[in-house]
Amino acid sequence: MRSVKFMLTGLIIVICANVFAQGYKIEVQINGLKDTTILLGYHMGEKKYVQDTAKVNSKGFAAFQGDSALRKGIYLIILPNKTYFEILIDDVQKFGVKTETNNYIEKLAFTNCKEGNVFADYQRFMVEQQKTMTDYQNKYKAVSAKPDSVKIMQEKIKDLDKKVNDYWNSIISNNPNSLIAAIVKTMLPLHLPEFAVPVNAKNADSLRWVMGYHYNKVHYFDNIPLTDPRLLRTPILEQRLNSFFDRVLIPSPDSIIPEAIKIIEETRSNKEMFQFTLQFLGNKFSTSNIMGFDAVFVAIAEKYFLTGQAWWADKKTIEKIKERVEALKPNLIGKQCPNLTLPDMAGVIKKLSDINAKITVVYFFDSSCAHCKKVTPEVKKLYDAFKPKGFEVYAVYTQGNQPEVIEYINKNNLNWINVWDPAQNSNFRNLFDIYSTPVIYVLDKNKKIIAKRISEESLKQMLEIELK
């Protein structure tokens, strides 16, 4: 199995189900293609993988065939130029599909596959409705200065939305329990109810927003069955998970952690869905660039990976996850900062906990680091500007060349607290997860971590707010 990438020049989904078939046999005829090889692939979230290959003869015929049934989901028939159209495999799979290279949708036809023809009609319908919607939107912009015309176009757009939603609902009702119904159902919009806000309520708009946020959070997955493994081999589940965590929830670990655990638990009754969801969310938050989201990874790892519930993960993987959790846990946002007791360049001990400042930055740097040479002067400017307002810097030199760093300190007039660890016994690298420089941690007056690994530009913005 190997991952493949393609240029998307067309999107056609063919839905095929034959309850009584064994194994799979997909007979393909593509007019305009001959004497070549085509591939059968499938989606797994945002990635695509190759499942099978087939030779196309001189008449454009090819067949994919296997003794075992395919896992259900969206598959791809991939042409030599890496363009493709998609087929949706459901139940046992034996059918034929015919199309042409110059127009997949218009020429699409099926044999022994009623749902394939239903979805071909759906594709043609949606193409036409999208054209109509584009036309309406352009006309809406053109008449934006005419209230009566705007109202007419708004009604037309509303009627078109209703037409499309009615069509989707007809597919769902006419094809119960099918994969096409499951997929179309995920497209249905979530309609917010009218919330009962007290007449005399202060900040009624804010209260209405809170109600809407809560409703959306609770009902977001109403039309997305989290125990249906057919959605694994589609891009839908991953898209919806990303949308939920990136756009619906308040972007803070306190909001995200309980929702992540709730979703993982809802998939537990299906092993495939549980494995995918747990793996996906663990990876998503372990690699996130958003400050503080490492706390989500730690919570997921401690609850599932480090308690033996990720049965597919080998010992080496679990050890790596454990090491990463141990590196992140002491320096999560909101935690009390690990105390450092280090000598300055004259050998005088300086304790981080002794600093009396409204905001303290712990700045890890290397005097020979090219990036540090750019960042340090900018931090120095901020120090000079905000020192009178209660700002202090505890700068930790991470290397061992004392003459070099003393020259660097003097040359740049770094008159903040400069310390180092000549004996290498403070464990600062592990406590603060220092594997490169420069790194900035921001502490409040109680030495709790309020920001970390931020740029000097972000630090400036924070100081302007916190020390205004």
- For residue 226, give every residue at least 6 positions away whose Cβ sits within 8 Å of its Cβ, in sequence order, or none: 263, 266, 267, 273, 277
Q: Which domain holds residue 313?
A: 204-331
- Phi-psi category of residue 60: left, alpha or beta, with phi > 0 → left and psi -120 to 50 → alpha: left
Is residue 308 located within the same domain as residue 212? yes
Last residue of a domain, one of 331, 356, 386: 331
pLDDT for position 123: 79
Residue 164 has pLDDT above 70, yes or no: yes
How far is Cα 186 from Cα 237, in angstroms, rounded to an integer? 9
The answer to whether residues 33 and 79 touch, using CB atoms and an 8 Å cutoff, is yes
Taking residues 18-31, what's their average pLDDT? Answer: 79
pLDDT tens by residue, 57-85:
999 999 999 999 999 999 999 999 998 98
Is residue 352 located within the same domain as residue 435? yes
- For the chain, how long is the longest CA-to-CA vector? 86
Taking residues 221-229, what's their average pLDDT? Answer: 96
CB atoms within 10 A of CB 31: 13
Is residue 247 located within the same domain as residue 158? no
Is residue 181 located within the same domain as residue 208? no
Note whether residue 452 is domain-resident.
yes
Structural domain total, the chain: 4
Q: What are phi and psi of 332, to 5 degrees?
A: -75, 150
CATH number at residue 101: 2.60.40
Residue of 146 and 309 predicted with greater confidence: 309
Give the gyration radius of the chain's Cα atoms: 29
Is residue 213 located within the same domain as residue 324? yes
Note whether residue 194 is domain-resident.
no
Burial class for 272, CB neighbours closer than 10 Å (0-12, 13-18, 19+): middle
pLDDT tens by residue, 7-17:
333 344 444 44
CB hemisphere CA count around 323 (13 angstroms):
6
pTM above 0.75, yes or no: yes
pLDDT for position 457: 96
Note whether residue 125 is domain-resident.
no
CATH number at residue 442: 3.40.30.10
pLDDT tens by residue, 360-398:
999 999 999 999 999 999 999 999 999 999 999 999 999
* Least confident among 192-206, 241-255, 451-465: 192-206
